[in-house]
Each structure stands twice: as C-alpha cells, then as structure tokens.
C-alpha cells in the first residue's frame, strides 16, 4: 500500500502534468500511438490520482483540504490539424476534472484543470523557432507565446489558499489565443 510506504507528511497538492504528444491525423494515427497517448494522459493520471486520494485503495496521501491540478490543453477549444488524438485524451482530463471535484469535494479537496495554449518548451517542438513563435504570438491577445514560467504561475495561483472556493474549473492559460 502506497500510504504505508510513505513516511512524510500528507501531501497538500498534486499536479498531474503528464505529457506525450503525437502529430498525426485521423488517417495516420495507429493503435500504438492511441494506446501510448491513453496510457500517459488518461490511465496514468487516473491511477496516480486514485493512489493518492482513495483511502479504500491504500491511498489518501493527499490531505483533506488539499488540491489537485490536472494539466489539460487549449487544443480542446481550438483546433490544430494533426493534434486530434492528443486533444481527445486531454478532453478526458476535462471530464475527470468535474467528476473528481464532485467526488473529492466532501473532503474539501479542490480539483481544477489548467489548460495551456501555445507554450514554447521542448515538448512543443518549436522551442527557439522564431517563425513558429511569431505565428503563435500573432494569434494571442497578448502578442506572445507562453513560457513554462507563465503556466507555473497559473498553477501556483490555483493552488493558493486564496483560490479555496475554486473547484471543477478549466482555467485556460492561453494569452487569449484564438479568441
């Protein structure tokens, strides 16, 4: 049992930041790609959160009154061809946010989702590419693409005690991309 192995104080927050991309279309996505995306973005997130929150499964390492943040994507609102399989898995995260907020709410555990828009990181595949950066920047109300620090700040804000009345929300951090 996970809780029996943990020697530290109960956790106050869990941030599920699973990431694996796939740049394929409906015609080119194979079963292995779908399975890998599902394993990362749905199964892994589900089982980790279960292990940390479910007392009946030996979990409950997340303290009552704690918070869970799931990382989603702006791609569930706006479309980029070739990202449908990835976006579909993150759509499941969208649904889990609301269900888990309802289920964990009686313990005072808040569950929210942060859904980034274009973020210049190694994961995005265009880090340092000025041409791609400009295309995304031109599509935002703020005139730039995000950095990892931008998204980290949103996550920290959601976890802050000042957001204690916020749960079951999808908070898009896109700089106003494709309004």
pLDDT per residue over 1-17, tens digit each? 566 667 778 899 999 99
* Candidates 46, 86, 99, 177; catalytic one: 86
pTM of the model: 0.92
Q: Is the residue at 5 inside a domain?
A: no
pLDDT of residue 56: 74
Between 167 and 59, the more confident residue is 167
Q: Is the residue at 179 inside a domain?
A: no
The DSSP call for residue 175 is S
Q: Is the residue at 104 inside a domain?
A: yes
88 has a pLDDT exceeding 80: yes
Q: Which CATH number is 47's domain given?
A: 3.40.50.720
Which domain does 57 fall in, by range? 12-173
86 is catalytic: yes
**Cα–Cα distance, 120 to 134 (Å, whole number):** 11
Residue with tokens 């595949």: 125
Q: Is the residue at 4 inside a domain?
A: no
50 has a pLDDT exceeding 70: yes
Residue by residue, DSSP assigns 80-109 as: -TT-HHHHHHHHHHHHHHHHHHHHHGGGT-
- Mean pLDDT for the stretch of residues 21-35: 95
**Cα–Cα distance, 50 to 127 (Å, whole number):** 34
Q: Is the residue at 6 inside a domain?
A: no
Q: Is the residue at 7 inside a domain?
A: no
E runs forming strands in the chain: 11-16, 62-71, 110-116, 170-173
**Cα–Cα distance, 124 to 151 (Å, whole number):** 14
Of 142, 144, 151, which is closest to residue 171 (Cα–Cα)?
A: 151
**Cα–Cα distance, 114 to 171 (Å, whole number):** 5
Domain count, the chain: 1
Q: Is the residue at 178 inside a domain?
A: no
**Cα–Cα distance, 179 to 164 (Å, whole number):** 28
**pLDDT, the chain, mean:** 92
Q: Is the residue at 70 inside a domain?
A: yes
Q: 65 φ, ψ to 5°?
A: 85, 0
């Amino acid at each position: 049992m996970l809780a029996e192995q943990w020697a530290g104080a109960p956790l106050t927050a869990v941030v599920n930041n699973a990431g694996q991309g796939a740049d394929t279309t409906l015609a080119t996505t194979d079963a292995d790609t779908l399975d890998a995306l599902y394993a990362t973005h749905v199964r892994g997130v589900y089982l980790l959160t279960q292990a940390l929150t479910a007392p009946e499964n030996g979990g409950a390492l997340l303290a009552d009154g704690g918070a869970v943040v799931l990382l989603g994507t702006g791609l569930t609102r706006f479309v980029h061809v070739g990202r449908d399989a990835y976006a579909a898995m993150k759509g499941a995260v969208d649904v889990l946010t609301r269900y888990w907020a309802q289920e964990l709410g009686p313990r005072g555990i808040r569950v929210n989702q942060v859904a980034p828009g274009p973020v210049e990181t190694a994961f995005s595949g265009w880090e340092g590419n000025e041409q791609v950066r400009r295309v995304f920047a031109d599509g935002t109300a703020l005139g730039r693409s995000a950095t990892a620090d931008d998204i980290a700040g949103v996550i920290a804000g959601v976890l802050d005690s000042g957001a204690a009345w916020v749960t079951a929300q999808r908070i898009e951090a896109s700089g106003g991309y494709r309004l």
